[in-house]
Structure 1
Amino acid sequence: MTAQSRSPTTPTFPGPSQRTPPTPCPVQTPRLGKALIHGWTDPGQPLGEQQRVRRQRTETSEPTMRLHRLRARLSAVACGLLLLLVRGQGQDSASSIRTTHTGQVLGVLVHVRCDLHPLNAPESWSGDLTPVKSEFLSQFNMTYPSVSMSEDCLYLSIYTPAHSHEGSNLPVMVWIHGGALVFGMASLYDGSMLAALEDVVVVIIQYRLGVLGFFSTGDKHATGNWGYLDQVAALRWVQQNIAHFGGNPDRVTIFGESAGGTSVSSLVVSPISQGLFHGAIMESGVALLPGLIASSGDVISTVVANLSSCDQVDSEALVGCLRGKSKEEILAINKPFKMIPGVVDGIFLPRHPQELLASADFQPVPSIVGVNNDEFGWVIPKVMRIYDTQKEMDREASQAALQKMLTLMMLPPTFGDLLMEEYIGDNGDPQTLQAQFQEMMADYMFVIPALQVAHFQCSRAPVYFYEFQHQPSWLKNIRPPHMKADHGDELPFVFRSFFWGNYVKFTEEEEQLSRKMMKYWANFARNGNPNGEGLPHWPLFDQEEQYLQLNLQPAVGRALKAHRLQFWKKTLPQKIQELEEPEERHTEL
């Protein structure tokens, strides 16, 4: 028996204490229909039966079926649904039903009411859930699902190895997707290869995004960080239920990339996530990423008020006005945001992450922190429309692009002048100028924040740092020839597949790099240390600042960007202070 309730059409914002009406959640998910199993084989090496999955319907329970994609209702997170991917044999290898603490799961898409509050766990349900599938279309020689905005946005996906069963106590890896906290989805990622090859349980979660995920008035009327609270709720669900899927709730590692890495890092410093995970992997994103953290929500609430034509006389009136907007109006308000920050809300983040890290007020769990060596090379300039990556950059173009970024990050023009002086100087060669501009922006947005977090955390817990350096071979004819490892380039090597489960054609050397990275990540999930038999040694990041250069031939490096780190931590603040002091004296006179 399946249960359905009509999806709401009116978005709502939270009140101070009461439960609010249902609201849509601004996240992209595939349109869903009747599902097939998504199987795979590995062309790079022969696979045993334990690592092979046939494409077939989830209703079957033949011994050869190893990974089953089932949709199931959320049992302990906020609004929406969880997408459960479990192996078809079920709890006792003869049943396709999993029993969680709030009900049994077989997998049907059930629409449930959605509130913007951080919610209590729902009541248990009865009945079974049946399988669904995504509709696909072909673009750019790859297969993508048809994508739309969904009000039921809170899903998670569980991938388990073929042999797993309740009591297997396998390490659990919970993936948090990126997307500047305004876009992204769980269905972009396929955890089946990582789960099957490395004998771990992979969980991929979703969370509310954009205005409905992170809007804040800075008071009780809209405290903000709803998306982060969704992540906490999902981790609580994992603690309560993952044992039913063969996972060990006492061996949970959270990992994510970009805004997903920022989420992981924010969970490490948040007091309300204590005990929900035991290791953290931050790929190209930490809690200090500029643009993704703010001390207050004043700027965002002002922008939202202007976009919505709501009066900002007081926050209660603003929230009340927003509650009266239609779904289409709320999505229109959300559209202009290229990124949106989390805030210091006093709950999820009691203080700014910089303060929490500096005072060693964070969870001392082992961490992997890393960046790619060309983070601002192609994807981010294109997505943010900062400059044309196909054209040569002259000095005027670099200054214009920098001004766009300063405006976006709400930084003064003086900041830009000092950066141009440090990174570009008098250089006028277009190719060199563009490379230096890209390095400057990559350092500012990703590299320096990652190094700062690593330095803070290594005082209390083991930290392993990496720089991914390999440009994927399948992208060389698509991107400019000077490109190195761009933002997100490591993802296919971690999951051994591209977005939406599209499998890329690795060279033999890339195949080996992918297997090494998967083993590093899985070893870390098993015991808090990425090292293992047959792998190049990965040293701890400590006073010697050693790190691993992840390339076709991994090697150990030392003191990554030491000069640049000194500039950002000491030289730049000192120069800004020197420039501000005469202005302050002039104002006093």
Structure 2
Amino acid sequence: MIVSGDKCALHKEMCVDAKILPGGLYAFLNIPYATVPVGANRFKAPLPAPVWLEPLEAVDKGIICMQPPSPFFDASSKVMQEDCLIANVYVPDTDDKNLPVIVYIHGGAFEIGFGNMMTPKHLVKNKKVIVVNFNYRLGVHGFLCLGTKDAPGNAGLKDQVALLQWVKKNIANFGGNPDDVTIAGYSAGSVSVDLLMLSKSAKGLFHKVILESGVGVGFIAIQRNPIENAKTYAKMLNFTKVNDFYLMQEFYKSAPLKSMFVSTFVGRKDSTVLFSPCIERKEDNQAFLDDSPYNIIKSGQYSKIPMLIGISNMEGSLQMHHVGIWKDSMNAKFSDFLPSDLVFQNSDEGEIISKKIKEFYFGETPVGEETILAYLDYFGDIMFGYSTLRAIKLHLEAGHKQIYLYEFSFVDDSVPVIPNTNERRAQHCSQTMAVLEGPVDEDTLSEEYRNLKSTIREMWSNFAIHGTPVPEDSSLPIWPTTNANGSPYMSIGKSVETKEMFLGERGKFWNKIYEKYYRAPVAPPPPEAHHSEL
């Protein structure tokens, strides 16, 4: 039972006080779910959470994990600290027990962000679900991957597993059902959801998944050369002896953590970040991921639980501001901008395929502001769109039959048109902004957008409750499962209707490229291999 005031929700040896929010819901904020190891152990899996005997004042203390400055939000009012693993639980004011639980994983390129970056208040007000969000380690702190005992990789994902274990153990005390958990995520959080579904370490901790712009088989999801990435980043931190592997590892283990955060995902031509998840060496029995997502799906050895998956129709918005900076380089050497998981026999072959890809999107017209729609399609397809279609194809081939696909295209008429066009499109993770709340007061939104937000929240809640976004008794349009060609999929825009052929001809084009040139990522070699090169 959840009550306010002097009483609290009992958790065996601990309890927390609720904060009552307008609209009839409770927020339990800043609950420690695990502890970050420190010092030389800073890159290892998390430790158990602290316990307490007196009521915990579960209010927002602004705690976020260590991260570089963000171009997307102001963190000056936040408390950035090393021990940052806190959860926030949103509970409706209801006597109902065993409510389905949605755990939301925040995005931010595995480098920035925090659990309450967007909040689920309206999603919880329907009194049908409980929602949990949380912080996890980011950037070098969460994803340095040296393949050693001290820095095996994926500490941030191991934080996520610890959170799910905490939910399994404690959510019943908040009125939630630990045996009916849906994990949802946006951008890097969406990639995380997909990887959690594939990881043996998270098996049995959740029962449905919602992916919002990001999958595990995308090239942005996995580091292809984590040792080189560690070297590149160390140089950015003014450490120069990167060819001595053990000295570099010692630098990472001993340097002040606050001095180790610089931005890495703005301006990289291959659209990657240096510190995303990695394949860990199989020798580590605590490994979160010991094979590539591609290989795991192909093997079929993972839990095939109901999946709601999709993108916006302008995922390339993340690279919108680079068009003026990159256009000359793209026209001179388009191969620099290809997905990093395409591998060619030699540079000549790479240039031939690059020319083919450039002509497919731009024809004979140069890349530039005048071809902005083709530019946005290209980056949207390589970063999120095609990998989503490819993931669906792989899952279906592996025997997964409960996949609901969507494309979100709603844009309010007040949104400016894309430069040099008369079009409006939905930017990266617009569907998440419709489901959750950002800094904008919802009362100021147009009636059309408020109605759309109500519709998508109903679909997402339905999925968490029933395993399908549109149950039989719903007044919403029928939403069947999809096939390997992305048909049908739900188009969520000014109208809500099913359509055929997700990505259309662009999907077919990339299928042919990836069938021939894709190479799956692998784990870093043992440390001795690096040291012997000295």
Question: TM-score of the superposition, structure 2-length normalised?
Answer: 0.79
Q: Distance in 1 between matches of 2:449 and 2:333?
A: 34
When residues 563 and 148 of structure 1 are mapped into structure 2, their CA distance, relative to the original with a 3 A threshold, is: same
2:3 is equivalent to residue 73 of structure 1: no
Matched AA of 1:370: G
Matched AA of 2:374: Q
Matched AA of 1:514: K
Q: Which moved more, 1:504-513 or 1:203-212?
A: 504-513
Q: Distance in 2 between matches of 1:522 and 1:510?
A: 18
Q: Distance in 2 between matches of 1:435 and 1:337?
A: 22
Tell me if the contact between 2:320 and 2:376 (Cα under 8 Å) persists in the aligned partners.
no
Q: Which residue of 1 aligns with 2:48?
A: 121
The C-alpha deviation readout for 1:28-56, integer Å capped at 9, x for no partner, is xxxxxxx995744xxxxxxxxxxx24xxx
How many residues are treated as equivalent by the alignment?
469
Equivalence map 1:242-391=2 (5 Å): 242-308=171-237, 309=239, 311-331=241-261, 334-338=262-266, 339=273, 340-345=275-280, 346=282, 347-377=287-317, 379-382=318-321, 386-388=322-324
2:132 is equivalent to residue 173 of structure 1: no
Q: Distance in 2 between matches of 1:564 and 1:327?
A: 43
Q: Distance in 1 between matches of 2:416 and 2:355?
A: 34
Cα deviation for residue 429 of structure 1 reads 9.1
When residues 150 and 197 of structure 1 are mapped into structure 2, their CA distance, relative to the original with a 3 A threshold, is: same
Q: Work out which structure has the larger RCO, using CA pairs closer than 8 Å and 6 or more positions apart in sequence.
A: 2
Matched AA of 2:207: H
Q: Which residue of 2 aligns with 1:444?
A: 382
Q: Distance in 1 between matches of 2:418 and 2:442?
A: 17
* 1:343 counterpart SS class: coil
When residues 312 and 432 of structure 1 are mapped into structure 2, their CA distance, relative to the original with a 3 A threshold, is: closer
The C-alpha deviation readout for 1:226-248, integer Å capped at 9, x for no partner, is 11110011000000000001110
Q: Distance in 1 between matches of 2:179 and 2:299?
A: 27
Tell me if the contact between 2:105 and 2:192 (Cα under 8 Å) persists in the aligned partners.
yes
Q: Which moved more, 1:313-322 or 1:261-270?
A: 313-322
Q: Distance in 1 between matches of 2:18 and 2:173?
A: 23
Q: Distance in 1 between matches of 2:316 and 2:195?
A: 22
Q: Distance in 1 between matches of 2:43 and 2:209?
A: 27
Q: Distance in 2 between matches of 1:492 and 1:230?
A: 25
Specify the structure having the higher radius of gyration (Cα).
Answer: 1
Cα deviation for residue 262 of structure 1 reads 0.4
Equivalence map 1:5-44=2 (5 Å): 39-40=21-22
Q: 2:140 aligns with which of 188, 211, 225?
A: 211
Q: Distance in 1 between matches of 2:342 and 2:393?
A: 26
Segments of structure 2 that go 5 or more residues without pairing to the other structure are 1-16, 63-72, 267-272, 520-534
Tell me if the contact between 2:101 and 2:181 (Cα under 8 Å) persists in the aligned partners.
yes
Q: Which residue of 1 aligns with 2:57?
A: 130
Q: Which residue of 2 aligns with 1:237?
A: 166
2:361 is equivalent to residue 426 of structure 1: no
Cα deviation for residue 198 of structure 1 reads 5.0
- CA RMSD between the two structures: 3.4
Q: Which residue of 2 aligns with 1:160?
A: 91
Equivalence map 1:482-493=2 (5 Å): 482-493=423-434
Matched AA of 1:423: Y
The C-alpha deviation readout for 1:6-33, integer Å capped at 9, x for no partner, is xxxxxxxxxxxxxxxxxxxxxxxxxxxx
When residues 131 and 72 of structure 1 are mapped into structure 2, their CA distance, relative to the original with a 3 A threshold, is: same
When residues 260 and 277 of structure 1 are mapped into structure 2, their CA distance, relative to the original with a 3 A threshold, is: same
Q: Which residue of 1 aligns with 2:354?
A: 416
The C-alpha deviation readout for 1:327-359, integer Å capped at 9, x for no partner, is 34212xx33454222111142112111111122
Equivalence map 1:506-545=2 (5 Å): 506-532=445-471, 533-542=474-483, 545=487
Cα deviation for residue 502 of structure 1 reads 4.2
* 1:376 counterpart SS class: helix
Segments of structure 1 that go 5 or more residues without pairing to the other structure are 1-34, 41-51, 54-65, 81-110, 136-141, 578-589
Q: Which residue of 2 aligns with 1:457?
A: 395
Question: TM-score of the superposition, structure 1-length normalised?
Answer: 0.72
* 1:513 counterpart SS class: helix
When residues 492 and 221 of structure 1 are mapped into structure 2, their CA distance, relative to the original with a 3 A threshold, is: closer
Tell me if the contact between 1:470 and 1:485 (Cα under 8 Å) persists in the aligned partners.
yes
The C-alpha deviation readout for 1:207-266, integer Å capped at 9, x for no partner, is 100011101112333111111110011000000000001110111000011111100011
Tell me if the contact between 2:330 and 2:337 (Cα under 8 Å) persists in the aligned partners.
no
Q: What is the percentage of aligned positions where both structures have the same residue?
A: 26
Cα deviation for residue 294 of structure 1 reads 2.5
Q: 2:331 aligns with which of 376, 379, 399?
A: 399
Q: Distance in 2 between matches of 1:576 and 1:216?
A: 22
Cα deviation for residue 287 of structure 1 reads 0.5
Q: Distance in 2 between matches of 1:199 and 1:401?
A: 53
When residues 439 and 36 of structure 1 are mapped into structure 2, their CA distance, relative to the original with a 3 A threshold, is: same
Q: Distance in 1 between matches of 2:158 and 2:470?
A: 33
Cα deviation for residue 488 of structure 1 reads 1.8
Tell me if the contact between 2:94 and 2:127 (Cα under 8 Å) persists in the aligned partners.
no
Q: Which residue of 2 aligns with 1:91?
A: none
* 1:294 counterpart SS class: coil
Q: Which moved more, 1:555-564 or 1:421-430?
A: 421-430
Tell me if the contact between 1:78 and 1:114 (Cα under 8 Å) persists in the aligned partners.
no
Matched AA of 2:175: G
Matched AA of 1:342: P
Q: Distance in 1 between matches of 2:159 and 2:227?
A: 22
Q: Distance in 2 between matches of 1:213 and 1:430?
A: 37
Tell me if the contact between 2:19 and 2:26 (Cα under 8 Å) persists in the aligned partners.
yes
Q: Distance in 2 between matches of 1:71 and 1:484?
A: 36
Matched AA of 1:463: I
Tell me if the contact between 1:468 and 1:490 (Cα under 8 Å) persists in the aligned partners.
yes
Matched AA of 1:118: A
* 1:538 counterpart SS class: coil
Q: Distance in 1 between matches of 2:469 and 2:335?
A: 41
Equivalence map 1:137-148=2 (5 Å): 146-147=77-78
Cα deviation for residue 574 of structure 1 reads 4.5
Q: Distance in 1 between matches of 2:218 and 2:156?
A: 17
* 2:469 counterpart SS class: coil
Q: 1:553 aligns with which of 476, 495, 500?
A: 495
Q: Which residue of 1 aligns with 2:9?
A: none
Q: Which residue of 2 aligns with 1:106?
A: none
* 1:293 counterpart SS class: coil
Q: Distance in 1 between matches of 2:174 and 2:101?
A: 10
* 1:476 counterpart SS class: coil
